[in-house]
Amino acid sequence: MTEKIALTPKTHTAPPAKFSHGVKKGNILQVAGQVGFLPAVEGQPPTPAGPTLREQTLQTLANVKAILEEGGASWEDVMMIRVYLTDVAHFAEMNEIYNAYFEAQGLTQPPAARTTVYVGLPAGLLIEIDALAVLG
């Protein structure tokens, strides 16, 4: 039987419920929905990187990446990125930030597929992202 491994970067606050920030089993790695929380500080509640879409998007992407790396994966392995925004008006700016971020990653494999939809999120959060990766 293949083991399912929880991926819990040291930078991450404990999940607010009984779920894992990421799991890996065989060659499949799933990253849970990440938001723009700064690296955890003991004794302090989760704190967003800032009020702006730019701050939150970059922190969210960093949080996804930390989980990928915890599982021995990278953006190269990611097949699907789901982006949840709260406001259709944020689409163009998110894309700009997203494009610049991934250009800076210098990937050699094609970018992941993506779906972007507009949903409700907890107050103060503008973006949530999850990801599915296939390793190897």
Residue 124 as a binder of a second copy (CB under 8 A): the answer is: no
Stretch that binds a second copy, among 40-48, 54-62, 121-129 (CB under 8 A): 121-129
For the CA atoms of 114, 119, 123, 129, what is the dihedral angle to 10 degrees? -10
Q: For residue 104, what are the contacts with CB-CB under 8 A and spacing of at least 6?
A: none
Residue 63 as a binder of a second copy (CB under 8 A): the answer is: no
Q: Contact at 8 Å (CB) between 34 and 41?
A: no
Residue 62 as a binder of a second copy (CB under 8 A): the answer is: no
Residue 70 as a binder of a second copy (CB under 8 A): the answer is: no
d(C-alpha 126, C-alpha 136), whole Å = 33
Residue 88 as a binder of a second copy (CB under 8 A): the answer is: yes
Q: How far is CA 59 from the centre of its chain?
A: 8
d(C-alpha 103, C-alpha 8), whole Å = 26
Q: Which one of residues 13, 20, 47, 52 is an interface residue with a second copy (CB under 8 A)?
A: 20
Query: Which residues of the shown chain bind a second copy in the complex (CB under 8 A)?
Result: 1-6, 15-23, 25-28, 30-33, 76-77, 79-82, 84, 88, 91, 95, 98-99, 102-103, 109-123, 128, 130, 132, 134, 136
